[in-house]
Amino acid sequence: MYDVTPDQVWVWQKLESIITDLLSQYGYQEIRFPVLEKTDLFHSAIGEVTDVVEKEMFTFETRKGDSISMRPEGTASTVRMVLQNGLIFNDPQKLWYSGPMFRYEKPQKGRNRQFSQVGVEVFGFPGPDVDAELLLMTHKMWQQLGLKNVRLELNTLGTAECRATYREVLIKYFEQHLELLDEEAKKRLHSNPLRILDSKNPAMATVIESAPLIKDYLSTESQQHFKGLCDILDACGLTYQVNPKLVRGLDYYTHNVFEWITDDLGAQGTICAGGRYDRLVEMQGGKATPATGFAMGLDRLVELILEHKLWEPKPQAQVYFIRDKSIADDQVIKLTESIRAAVPGLQMMLHMGQASFKSQFKKADKSGAQFAIIIGEEEFAQQVFAVKALQDRAFGQQQMSYQELLTFLQSQLNINSASNCNT
């Protein structure tokens, strides 16, 4: 778990605002659910034989002895929430959430014990059209964030029936190679054999490499669903690689599964993962409802943006207000409040307390502001202001009346907001 200091928090804010703006442009609605849930929810929704439930949850007892856990992901809570609130009763839903998740993992680059996800969950649409929309929308996100080198890997797990057949084939195959499996794989052999394909143990690479593939066990319906998705992506020019080994270990996944991966982050390169989970709502006691979604890891996106300097740092303020010691606090504050009222939206930082001009200029430079407004004793008496450009040498320093100053600040704001629209 970690702190986000002010020099990095602007990346989080901008990232969240780009993502949430895009989600609302596609008509998705935000939901919020608690950080704590009953432990049973995660056991039943995520599955007993998964890394998350077996070894990653922060679980504890309440004073009355109930077992509760800090949410390790958002899909389980979303399904609980839509069922408890009757949201998907004859009504499709396109939903998203954002916030911290908790997993007791070995902390390392790209893997934290508290991390943030934005997740999208869609209920009520069985076809590949919505899966395609999710992929096109995430692709647009990478474009808007300025990410390069992100690739999409795609696979299908077919319907529940195809999966069941494939499961048996896999168990038989691994049973013939028991001596090559590690302890974890042996434990999973009968409960969650697909998860073995996900193993990161290099000693098992060969036996996994030669394992049978789901694509050879797909029904016509499953093949058509996947082809439907690929056709839309092809028509829209979105490139992807079909990775026949890509599985999501959770029992409820059906049809397409996908991961967006970058090679710019080292080993933890998956920035977004998801797929269709048509069986989960029913498994949680609801009416059978098709569902699909994904979760993206914001920590890894922030790391990518900072490490590769993809964005210009945001200044603390646009304007830094420098004042002579002799001008009383009440006078200065009255003046700056009137400027703020006359130029809504202006980001202006007023120097607090008494300090030499030299030290105030140092702070102004450090703030990253474009301009300093300087007011000395005499200027205050005559209500004239010196405006000094801190970045643009050609501008130099100019004298302005109060009215000229307001017009100038207004025009700067317009220039800034116009250039923001272009990026």
Q: Which of 6, 59, 2, 18 is nearest to 36 (CA)?
A: 59
Q: What are phi and psi of 34, to 5 degrees?
A: -70, 160
Binding to ligand ATP by residue 276, rule CB under 6 A?
no
Query: Which single residue brings its beta carbon nearest to ligand ATP?
Result: 297
CB of 72 to ligand ATP, least distance (A): 8
Closer to ligand ATP at the Cβ: 103 or 279?
103
Residue 356's Cβ-count burial label (10 Å; 0-12, 13-18, 19+) is: exposed
CB of 423 to ligand ATP, least distance (A): 25
Closer to ligand ATP at the Cβ: 149 or 331?
149
CB of 138 to ligand ATP, least distance (A): 12
Angstrom distance (rounded) from CA 216 to CA 74: 32
Contact positions with ligand ATP (CB under 6 A) in 52-91: 73
Binding to ligand ATP by residue 302, rule CB under 6 A?
no
Segment interacting with ligand ATP (CB under 6 A) among 22-30, 120-128, 232-240, 268-276:
268-276
Closer to ligand ATP at the Cβ: 251 or 299?
299
Closer to ligand ATP at the Cβ: 59 or 316?
59
Closer to ligand ATP at the Cβ: 297 or 315?
297
Pick from 88, 295, 302, 405 the residue near ligand ATP by CB under 6 A.
295
Pick from 118, 157, 271, 405 the residue near ligand ATP by CB under 6 A.
271
Binding to ligand ATP by residue 273, rule CB under 6 A?
yes
Q: Which of 315, 398, 325 is nearest to 363 (CA)?
A: 315
Q: What are phi and psi of 384, to 5 degrees?
A: -115, 150
Closer to ligand ATP at the Cβ: 133 or 299?
299
Closer to ligand ATP at the Cβ: 95 or 322?
95
Binding to ligand ATP by residue 184, rule CB under 6 A?
no
CB of 360 to ligand ATP, least distance (A): 41
For 58-65, the CB contacts below 8 A with 24+ separation are: 58/102, 58/103, 58/104
Angstrom distance (rounded) from CA 266 to CA 46: 27
Angstrom distance (rounded) from CA 352 to CA 371: 17
CA angle 47, 189, 286 (to 5 degrees): 25
CB of 87 to ligand ATP, least distance (A): 23
Segment interacting with ligand ATP (CB under 6 A) among 17-25, 157-165, 205-213, 297-305:
297-305
Q: Which of 159, 167, 198, 154 is nearest to 294 (CA)?
A: 154
Closer to ligand ATP at the Cβ: 78 or 318?
78
Binding to ligand ATP by residue 297, rule CB under 6 A?
yes
Segment interacting with ligand ATP (CB under 6 A) among 15-23, 122-130, 294-302, 405-413:
294-302
The size of the interface with ligand ATP (CB under 6 A), counted in residues, is: 16
Binding to ligand ATP by residue 153, rule CB under 6 A?
no
Angstrom distance (rounded) from CA 139 to CA 121: 17
Contact positions with ligand ATP (CB under 6 A) in 92-121: 103, 105, 110-112, 115, 117
Query: Which residue type sits at 364?
Result: A
Site string for ligand ATP, 325-364 (x = CB under 6 A): ----------------------------------------
Binding to ligand ATP by residue 306, rule CB under 6 A?
no
Closer to ligand ATP at the Cβ: 258 or 320?
258
CB of 145 to ligand ATP, least distance (A): 14
Angstrom distance (rounded) from CA 190 to CA 174: 10
Binding to ligand ATP by residue 270, rule CB under 6 A?
yes
Binding to ligand ATP by residue 300, rule CB under 6 A?
yes
Q: Which of 409, 372, 376, 368 is nearest to 389 (CA)?
A: 372
CB of 412 to ligand ATP, least distance (A): 39
Q: Which of 126, 125, 29, 42 is nearest to 80 (CA)?
A: 42
> Which residue ranges make up the site for ligand ATP (CB under 6 A)?
73, 103, 105, 110-112, 115, 117, 270-273, 295, 297, 299-300
